[in-house]
Structure 1
Amino acid sequence: MKNILFLVFTAVSAFSLQAQNNDWIVKFDKSADISLLKTPTSDITEISLLSKSLNVYNVKTSRKVKRNELQAHFKSAESISENLNLEKREVIPNDLFYADQWNLKVIAADKVWEETTGGKTFNGDDIVIAVMDDGFDVSHSDLKENYWINKGEIPGDGLDNDGNGYIDDVMGVNIQNNTGVHAGVSHGTLVSGILGAKGDNGLGIAGINWDAKILLVSGVSNIGEIIKSLEYIYDLKKKYIETNGAEGANVVVNNFSGGIKKQFPSAFPSWCEQYEILGEVGILSVGAVANENFDVEIEGDMPTLCNSDYLIMVTNTNINDVKVSDAAFGTVSVDLGAPGEVIISSEIGDDYDNISGTSASAPHVAGAIALLYSIPCQNFADIADQNPSEIALTVKRAILDGVDDIPSLSESLSGGRLNIFNAVFELNEICGSVAINPLEITKVRPSLFKRSEQSDITFEYDTDVFTRHTVLVRDNNGRLVIDEDFKPLIFGNREYSLTVDHLDSGIYFLSVIEGDKISTERFVVVD
């Protein structure tokens, strides 16, 4: 591992909260004639499209104006909101560096890796995670293999080859300047490492997903840019569905670790509505609550209070499995907690460092969602293809129902902290998982084995651990005759077959061992 540099993050940044009364978000009625609305006036200097789906525009004025002045001018406007800058939801690390990735063990990612390390669905489709942030290190050795590449673009030709309105968006887009050139910034690099750093490659860290593709959307610093970014992600997924995977991107989740505190959805309806249209194409959105200890239901927080079934909001827990004091809460709108204190991740300059705050908590959940999409379950993969919005809500329920109950998170909707392994089992109705019970051989068939008629015996078993187990078979004198390992299945019937037709006639004892647990049953071999 490279030397770790400790960062001191400044409180003043491009994400600081600042009203912009000459910069507005306007949603027009569907019947509005936009060509007339674009007629220049002495006050209105620019009108640009943010969301075609919702008919939302960014309106800029030469002077600071009041909302009612714009309403008088745009009589067909359904809503008018200030385009406020955002705050970066990250706090200064105040503890020593933890060499171990404790966070991954707490959320049980390592247990899920026994089944899948992410990357593709059971049907072989790439799983894409969109990350909206300020910038990224596009050449980081632990990330570059996992960045999504737009196959519809020809790099460097200066053309919009795929016709999506962006030139050379080969590796995502910089939403501020409409190019594919991303600023090399720490925050987005750190967030990306948590959810998707390359795993098992001998470098730095392992992400929750070892191989999933990360779609980069940089330059996100105000509400207008959020809406525009979400629209870009929506268009890619919509094209993917319409072309049966030939174009676009199979985005299943997007992560944005920023927001605006002490604000309510009534002031920003277009922002909230964008999460709904993403959900319709099967994209869950994950966000970070404010890094202050207040009740969002009373004092407000955006996008936390957006009323969308497809939005998941995350607060922060520490290495002691306790909600940190400087993190918002809410029994309705804050869904769950996830680790976010002193989390080692990828840093610009091909380095590694710590990140703390809800900025680090949110990508744990986004990464978990992507990992669930890779489970080896045919029915899940088929539903995801046929009804992406339904499976998105199923995954959200699995995430929330699978949490570990934590007393300090009682003032959240789920009352708990992320546990990906538990979430896998919440999908049992779709994937045919059986109940989890302590280790026990429940049946050996046949118990009387006839070598002239059969070659294998099969034993059925229960287990509550899904790492490798050992199977031993001894004869009546205690001599070891079979020694094999197997990995229990999470989904489907739990059974394992052994070839025993080479054994002599006699009584045998079959044992399954996991750690210090053992279960033994006997069977008989006859000619």
Structure 2
Amino acid sequence: MQKEKLVHLIPYRLDNQLFETHQIPEGIELIQAPSLWQQGYKGKDMVIAVIDTGCDTKHPDLHGRILEGKNFTDDDNGAEDNITDYNGHGTHVAGTIAAINPASGVVGVAPEAKLIILKALGGKNGSGEYEWIVNAINYAVSKNVDIISMSLGGPLDVSELHDAIKAAVNQNILVVCAAGNEGDGNHHTDEFSYPAAYTEVISVGSISLQRKSSYFTNSNNEIDLVAPGERIISTIPDGRYAVYSGTSMSAPHVAGALALIKSVTEKEFSRVLSEPELYAQLIKRTIPLGYPKSLEGNGLVYLTAPDLLADYLRQKNIAESIGV
């Protein structure tokens, strides 16, 4: 298959590799996930499909998080039950979403969520055919997952890929995609990567841990929001950890955040919300950082934003009542 007909990992950079760590990653803190944990929301009963390079299912920080896995690539002669991660990217993404080892490793955004690992990118470089991605999406839909996370992309608008995503969204499945790392530092120019460029998906750009727009993040009118994507520590194969940078790292922050939001809103509304309603609840939990919409969309995912707004309005009412 010609190179342009392949889907690839959204490019990412390895900043550092570690054998052990003891922390809640800064990106998890930045989006205010621990505040929801303290309220009892950790993503319990939420199922997230991770379509990526596979996963190290034996990593101690992912113990008990993985429901099942399936291989859609030609790695290991196409063995469907072999989801070995030869790249490390898929394991890193999985850890950001749902790792659960704060004592001696890392913890993810939604540490009680469950994962279905769908390996649709193969080899050490992490590339795959569009058919593999489509098949993985369709499988996720058949499993009635809550969220699909994809940190992958290609230059082509492929109708079968678009149709699969629309089918997922029609089943009220939230589809989260990395925006891409082809940014040129000029927010007036557009860089599109598919499937992130489809209107139906939630396209996630990158910021640094200091809330600065990442130099590599794609800019276009389909960016929905941003999340931490620089120097993100998470799990990699063989029980280790690594610090990666890229919009690949931003997307799983939002996938995990949606698991928490879905838990919160189902309790608040006493019913299951539709995909458009959940998207609205996500955007309600963003704060603008002051960058052009083509770079940040609605802003940084910030899970306590409604509380901040409520506090502000309360203080404003108090000030008005005493004539300040």
Q: TM-score surpassing 0.5?
A: yes
* Residue in structure 2 matching 1:252, options 139, 146, 149: 146
**1:324 match: secondary structure:** coil
Residue 283 (str. 1) matches residue 184 (str. 2) = no
| TM-superposition CA deviations, 1:381-408 (whole Å, max 9, x none) | 5234xxxxx2x22121122232121123
More helix by share: 2
Counterpart CA distance in 2 for 1:131 and 1:209 is: 14
2:192 corresponding residue in structure 1? 300
Please list the CA deviations of residues 180-207 of structure 1 after superposition, one character each: whole Å capped at 9, or x if unmatched: 211133110000000100155x230111
- Aligned 8 A contact 2:16 2:244 in 1: no
CA distance in 2, matches of 1:128, 1:333: 26
Matched residues in 2 for 1:143 and 1:230: separation? 22
Q: Does 2:205 correspond to 1:315?
A: yes
Q: What's the % identity of the aligned pairs?
A: 24
Q: 1:233, CA displacement in angstroms? A: 0.6
Q: Show the counterpart of 1:92.
A: 13
Between the aligned partners of 2:292 and 2:190, the Cα distance in structure 1 is: 17
Match of 2:225 among 336, 346, 350: 336
Q: Describe how 1:21-420 pairs up with structure 2 within 5 A.
A: 84-94=5-15, 101-120=25-44, 126-148=45-67, 171-176=68-73, 177=78, 179-185=80-86, 186-200=88-102, 202-220=103-121, 221-237=128-144, 251-261=145-155, 263=156, 265=157, 268-294=158-184, 298-308=190-200, 311-330=201-220, 332-375=221-264, 377-384=266-273, 390=274, 392-412=275-295, 414-420=297-303
* Deviation digits for residues 160-219 of structure 1 (CA, Å, limit 9, x no counterpart): xxxxxxxxxxx221112261211133110000000100155x230111011110111013
2: CA distance, partners of 1:382 / 1:260: 37
Q: Does structure 2 retain, via aligned residues, the 8 Å contact 1:272–1:307?
A: no
In structure 2, what is the equivalent of residue 421 of structure 1? 304
User: Partners in 1 of 2:210 and 2:49 — Cα distance?
Assistant: 30
Cα distance in 2, alignment partners of residues 93 and 322 from structure 1: 19
Paired with 2:82 and 2:242, the residues of 1 have a C-alpha distance of 24
Q: TM-score, normalised by structure 2?
A: 0.83
Shift of 1:104: 1.6
Using CA pairs below 8 Å that are at least 6 residues apart, which structure has the higher relative contact order?
2
Query: 1:22-73 deviations in whole A, cap 9, x for unaligned?
Result: xxxxxxxxxxxxxxxxxxxxxxxxxxxxxxxxxxxxxxxxxxxxxxxxxxxx
Aligned mates of 1:326, 1:110 — CA distance in 2: 28
State the AA in 1 paired with 2:192: G
SS in 2 for 1:172: strand
Q: 1:130 to 1:296 in 2, by over 3 A?
A: farther
**2:6 alignment partner AA:** N
The equivalent residue for 1:39 is none
SS of alignment partner, residue 368 of structure 1: helix
* Gap change, CA 1:199 and 1:96, over 3 Å in 2: closer
Inter-partner Cα distance in structure 1 for 2:108 and 2:236: 13
User: Would the alpha carbon gap of residues 297 and 287 (structure 1) be closer, same or farther in structure 2, given more than 3 Å must change?
Assistant: farther
For structure 2, the 5+ residue unaligned runs are 122-127, 319-324
TM-score normalised by structure 1 residue count? 0.53
Distance 2:15 2:174 in 1: 32
Instruction: Give the Cα separation in 2 of the matches to 1:234 and 1:296.
Output: 36
For the 8 Å contact 2:120–2:133, the answer to whether it is kept is: no
Partner Cα distance (2:139, 2:188) in 1:
29
Aligned partner letter, 2:50: V
Contact 1:373 1:381 in 2 (8 A): no
Q: Which deviations, in whole Å up to 9, do the C-alpha atoms of 1:58-102 show, x marking residues without a partner? A: xxxxxxxxxxxxxxxxxxxxxxxxxx2122113224589897522
- Match in the other structure for 2:124: none
8 Å CA contact 1:336–1:409 kept in 2: the answer is no
Amino acid at match of 1:279: V
Output the amino acid matched with 2:70. Answer: V
Structure 2 Cα separation of the partners of residues 257 and 425 of structure 1: 30
Q: Check whether the contact 1:406–1:416 (CA below 8 A) recurs between aligned residues.
A: yes
Q: Structure 1's 222 and 337: CA in aligned 2 closer, same or farther, altered over 3 A?
A: same
Measure, in 1, the Cα distance between the counterparts of 2:154 and 2:141: 22
| Contact preservation (8 Å) 1:335, 1:412 | no
CA separation of 1:103 and 1:409: change in aligned 2, threshold 3 A: farther
Match of 1:436 among 296, 311, 315: 311
